[in-house]
Structure formats: structure tokens, C-alpha cells
Amino acid sequence: MRAITCTVVGDGSTGKTSLLISYTTNTFPQDYVPTVFDNYSTNLSVSDPFPNSKSSLEKQVFKMNLWDTAGQEEYDTLRPLSYPQTDIFLICFAINDIISFNNIKNRWIPEILNNLTQSHLKKYEQSNKYPILLVGTKSDIKYENNNNNNNNNNNKIVTKEDIETLIKEHGLLGYIECSALTQVGVKDVFEKAVQLVVFDSTSSKLPLYITPEGDDDGADDIPKKESNVGDDNNTQAVTKPSSKVSTSHDDIINRHTSTEAHAVISEQPKPHTSQKPKRKIHSNANTRPSQKPKSKKKKNKLCVIL
């Protein structure tokens, strides 16, 4: 079984450890403990995303060695020790943290390239692509910050244009986003990473901006934070109860449609129902059909004798 080493780097508190724990255990860690250096191992089966006559359609199993690193500056000398053995790097940044994104070109790309071996450089310089995949974390709060109109510059949402520009300027493999909390896109991150290492055709055919399987750009979807994650692969997350009235796009449409339907129904004439025949009412108000007519009494004549 071929082993593939994947090293995860990025600023502190960007969700690197949560991403790895969520992927390997299908659970989201509730407590934050800063990482110094950690290692995870798992098996992953993938197939060639662009098969041809020479490639097999069957999935291949690979052993994934996942290295979790600390983003703090005090570990700058320890962190690069794992770089020469790395097949692919995942540079993580929080989607709602523009500083963590800017540090990719200012800090993380130079650090990685300065510690690659000559064989790495020779292999990837031929295609003008380095073994680096960008990973946007915390996608579940991507639209939450937009709705809150947060003016903090640190919480500015990183745009698609910013990401594509960075990829093209520095010769990176591409970008994919995920949420360790909801597990959306988590599995896709590592599947794409393996495909980029194993299959030569992948790096040139995959789009720069990779979205999770079955998802579009996500512009019309508003992800919701979820409080719990299941234990199996088919995770069913439980949403947090909220006291606020839902104002999502779908809810607004549903309410509007329901209101219109109610108005249309109320304007429709009521269906004819069978009724018992009513008793006729005579036009003469003084006549009462329910009463017998009074019989005329004879008037007694009074005779006066003079």
C-alpha cells in the first residue's frame, strides 16, 4: 500500500486540528488545545477523476500520514522538519479571517519553498505548480458574517477573486473549502489531495476553485452552524435551536408563497353544498302561512222598538 504524507500548516486558530480530528474520527472537538506537533494515520480509497484507456476505474487504497503543525512563531524551527518527507501541503486559512489569508503569501509559501528538497522542486517546477493546496476552513460561518455586517477588518470574508489570484501568481494546485463543524467538504479535502499527488492529469484538469462534491459555488446557500456531529460516515448533524425568527432565503419564499396561496383560496367562491329546501315566505307580510285564517263572526243586529 502506497503511503502519502500530507502536512497541514497555517496560522494558529484557523481550524487545522479540528479539520484533522473531524476527518479521522467523524467528531468535532469541543475544547481548543493549541497543537505543537501531532500525527494522524488513516486509509483512504480514491479513483482517477479523469480515467482513460490506460487507467483503472477501480478505487485504489492509500495510507494517509497526516501531520498537524503549530502555527505560532515559536515553533518555526520545529515545523519544517516534516517538510522534506511531505508529498502535499495543505495551507489552511479561516474564510472569515483576512489576516490568515494574507499570511499565506507573506509567510507560509516562502517557508515551504525554502524547505523543499531538490527532487520536489525539479518535479513541480516542470509544471509550474508546487505541491500546495489551499484549504478554506470554517465555511459554516462564511455567510453568517455577511449577514451580521461585521465591520472588523480581521473578519472580512475572503473572496473567490482573491483566492484565484493567489493560486495563479504562486503556482499552487488549487483551492477547496470545508467546515469541520458540519463536516461539509472535509472528506473532499483529502480525496483531492491524494488525487493531486497520485494522478498526473489531475493537476491540469481540475479547476482552480474546487467545491465540495454535489455543491456549486455556494453563493445561494447559507450554511447553518450545527451543534453535534454523528459518529458514522453518513453524518446527520443536529441544528441548534434558535429563538430568532428564520429569515433565510428559502423561508422567505415559502412564507410568501403560503400567503399568496391563502389569498387565492379566500377569493375563490365557496363550493355549492346541498341544503334542505326552505319553507316559502309569502310576499304579504300580514299573512302567516303557519296560522289558520280567522273565521268571520256574524254580527248581531240590534232592533229598537218605538
List pLDDT tens digits, range 102-119.
999 999 999 999 998 887
The Cα 239–Cα 224 span in angstroms is: 7
Sheet containing 37-46: which strands, arranged edge to edge? 37-46, 60-69, 2-10, 88-94, 132-137, 174-177, 209-210
Report how far residue 44's alpha carbon sits from residue 64's, in angstroms, rounded to the nearest whole number.
7
Q: Report pLDDT for 47.
A: 82
Say whether domain 2-242 belongs to CATH 3.40.50.300: yes
Closest CA to 213 of 240, 180, 177: 177
**What is the average pLDDT score of the chain?**
72
Q: If you ran DSSP here, which 8-state letter would residue 292 be given? A: P
Instruction: Using alpha carbons, select from 252, 92, 113, 254 the residue that is nearest to residue 177.
Output: 92
In the DSSP assignment, the letter for residue 106 is I
Exposed, middle or buried by CB within 10 Å (0-12, 13-18, 19+), for 198? Answer: middle
Mean pLDDT of 117-143: 83
pLDDT of 99:
96
What confidence tens digit (pLDDT) does each residue in 50-97 have? 776 566 667 889 999 999 999 888 889 889 998 999 999 999 999 999
